Structure formats: structure tokens, C-alpha cells
Amino acid sequence: MKKSLIALAALAATTAFAQSSVQVVGTFDPSFASTQTTYGNNSSVTNQSIRNNTQGTSQVTFKGTEDLGGGLKANFLIENDFDAGKDARLGVAGGPGNLGSAGGELFLNLTGGFGKIALGAPNTPTLFSQSQNPFGTKIGGGFGQINSGKVRNNNTVMYSTPTMAGFTGHLAMSTKTKDAANLTTVGEITDIGLFYANGPLDVKFTSYKVAATATVVEKTDNNLTAAYDLGVAKIGVAYFTQKQTLLADAKGSSVFATVPLSANLSLLANFGQNDSALATNLDSKISAVGLKYNFSKMTSVYARYADQTFDNVAATAATTKKVQTTAIGMMTTF
């Protein structure tokens, strides 16, 4: 009898373990970069450095899932970003190393037939739209220059629908924050997304709205990206608008492509511009080309060149007129 009970307990423990899993994954992405910055007074400075996050995001991530039965699963993710060119001393924010101090995505979610609901600081729907070009959020993509550069917010609840006929909906809400005087210091943020993916076509639309506070005006950013895989190349376009209460609007656009040159080698290209409605007309443009060679599913080498220009800046050494960056790097995932 005792042997039977022991056997049943061991079986139960094994079954429970089989229903849950925890993984440690990550990315390491250092590169050697040369950056020439030209200022409004036409002076220039060139710096060489070991650059971080040129192609991917250097991070160590813990993620896990547990099968709760009945089609339900609980999942968590804790991302710890770090600088691949610095001492990885744990938790030294702003110091010589910053493993665990540079932030990252974090959430706990529940998935099932109803879709998915996440709590924490998940990546925004707008991030997935804005990073669809082959350079993503990294150098050459124009992230934050051509569009508004949304990544994630604290205090977020996000719901994603099941995918139906290629369509998936997303709604993220980040709560507002008040100070001791009951004044709102961070306005409520909502991010609505509608994604469509079917065969070679991938379209993403998002609308990101920040509520007004005593010091910040209401702002709405709309993003639309569309990519189509022709087989011989994957091409795409992106369009961005920003509307602000009582302030000037802005809009940006870009075209991009990924062209496979061989089984392991790809050519990347991106061209974009941001049109400012300000009286100062501070427009900006970006042109980028790159090569990526995959040694394996985990390791690749790459080269990138990006040229960013800023129009009508003040003729002083305090303003940036042009930035040209060349980077050669290697990235591995685990």
C-alpha cells in the first residue's frame, strides 16, 4: 500500500512538472561602430565605440508557462536588458555595468479561448506596428525619428482577441498617476491595435492616445504599416500621424525592403522622412542599408550604414544637423 501511494505521488509530481516549464533565453548584440555627427554650425565630431543593440536587444529573459487545464495557460516574462559593451555588474544603474537595471518587458498573462489578458509592462501594440521594417527599433529604422517611438508603459492591462480570419485586436490601457496634491502627473494612456496577417500580407494599424495633464497636452498617434512578401523580396510601407491639442501636428512615412541574396545573406533597406508642421519646419530624413548573414538560427553577422539629417536647425554647436553611422557586429541568441 505504501509503495502504491509513493508511486502515485511520484506520478502526480511528474505530471505537474510536465504541465509547466521555465526557460532562460537571451540575446547578445555588440558591434563596432563609427559615428560622425555634424552640428548646426557645420562642425563635426567622429567617435568609435562598442555599440549596443545595433540589430537586436541585448537581454537575459526568464519566461515560463503553466497549463491550467480547460484550454487555459498562465504565462510570465521578465526581461533584463543590458549594455553589451559594458561591465555586467549587477544592478549598477548608470554605472560601469547595468545588467538588470536597464529595464525590459515584464508581464503575467492568462490565455485561453477568450484571447489573452496581460498585466504589467508588456510591449505596446504600437511598438509592433512601428518596428515592422527590417531595421526594427534599431539604428536605420528611424524609430522615434520618423514615428513617435512607443515601447511599453508601466501599470498596463492589455487584452488581445483570438485571431479570426487573419484579424487580431489589441487594447492596452495604462492607468494615470496622481501626486500627494491629487494632481495627475502621468495621464492615462490607451493603445488600440488591429492587425491582419494572411499569407504574404501583414498589415498593422494602431492608435495611441495620451490624456492631458497640467503640464502635458492630449496627444494621439496613429500608425499604419503594411508589408508584402513577394518571395524574391519583402517590401513595406509605413505612415504615421501625430495630433496634439493646441500644438502643431506631425506626420512621417517610410518605405522598406528585405531582399534575400542567398539562403543565408539578406540585403536590408529603409528610407523615411518626418514632416513637421511647426513654423520652424524641423523636418528629418533617414536612409539606411544593411547586410545580414546568418551562420545559424542563433548567430548572425551584419553591417549597417545609416544617414540621418535634420533640416532648418539652428546654426550652433548645440544642435545636430546630421548623423552618419557605420556599424559591423555579431549577434547571438540562446
Start-to-end Cα distance in the chain: 46
Report pLDDT digits (tens) over 147-174. 999 999 999 999 999 999 999 999 999 9
Per-residue pLDDT band at 293 (split at 50, 70, 90): very high
The torsion of the CA quartet 260, 123, 94, 44, rounded to 10 degrees, works out to 50
Q: How far is residue 18's CA from residue 11's CA, in Å, rounded to a whole number?
A: 10
The whole-number pLDDT of residue 2 equals 44
- Is 214 a residue whose pLDDT tops 70? yes
User: What's the mean pLDDT in 320-325?
Assistant: 96
What is the reported pLDDT for 183?
76
The angle at the Cα of 198, spanning 193 to 200, to the nearest 5 degrees, equals 115
Residue the block writes with cell 482577441: 161
| pLDDT of 280 | 64
The model's confidence at residue 102, banded by pLDDT at 50, 70 and 90, is: low
Contact 266, 258 (CB under 8 A): yes
In this predicted model, what pLDDT tens digit does every residue of 71-96 receive, in sequence order? 999 999 999 998 888 876 655 544 44
Average of pLDDT values for 286-293? 98
3-state DSSP assignment of residue 14 = helix
* Average pLDDT of span 301-325: 94
**10 to each of 5, 15, 18, 65, 69, how far by Cα in Å?**
9, 9, 12, 21, 20
Domains and CATH numbers, the chain: 23-333 (2.40.160.10)
What pLDDT score does 286 carry? 97
Q: In a 3-state reduction of DSSP, which class is residue 127?
A: helix
Residue 63 has pLDDT above 90, yes or no: yes
Residue 126 confidence (pLDDT)? 98
**H/E/C letters for each residue in 159-213?**
EECCCECCEEEEEEEECCEECCCCCEEECCEEEEEEEEEECCEEEEEEEEEECCC
Q: What percent of the chain has pLDDT over 70?
A: 88
Name the DSSP class of 152.
Answer: B
Q: Does residue 28 surpass a pLDDT of 50?
A: yes
Q: How confident is the model at residue 278 (pLDDT cuts 50, 70, 90)?
A: low
**For the chain, what is the radius of gyration of the CA atoms?**
23
Binning pLDDT at 50, 70 and 90, where does residue 99 land?
Answer: low
pLDDT grade for 13, boundaries at 50, 70 and 90: very low
pLDDT greater than 70 at residue 11: no
Q: What angle do CA 121, 243, 205 make, to 5 degrees?
A: 55
Asked whether residue 18 carries a pLDDT value surpassing 90, the answer given is no
Separation CA 161–CA 142 (nearest Å): 30
Q: How confident is the model at residue 9 (pLDDT cuts 50, 70, 90)?
A: very low
Q: Is 1 a residue whose pLDDT tops 50?
A: no
Q: Are 28 and 61 a contacting pair, CB within 8 Å?
A: no
Query: Residue range 177-205: average pLDDT?
Result: 91
Q: How far apart are CA 219 and CA 19, in angstroms?
A: 44
Q: Does the pLDDT at position 12 exceed 80? A: no
Most confident of 249-253, 291-295, 307-311: 291-295
pLDDT in tens, 125-145: 999 999 999 999 999 999 998
Q: Distance between CA atoms of 252 and 270, rounded to whole angstroms?
A: 13
- CA 132 – CA 256 distance, rounded (Å): 9
Determine the Cα–Cα distance for residues 14 and 8; give it in Å rounded to an integer: 10
Task: Look at 114 and 185; give whichever has higher pLDDT.
Answer: 114
The predicted model gives 5-27 an average pLDDT of 63
pTM above 0.85, yes or no: yes
Residue count of the chain: 334
Per-residue confidence (pLDDT) for residue 98, from 0 to 100: 58
CA angle, 203 as apex, 202 and 207 as ends, to 5°?
A: 150
**What is the pLDDT averaged over residues 49-58?**
95
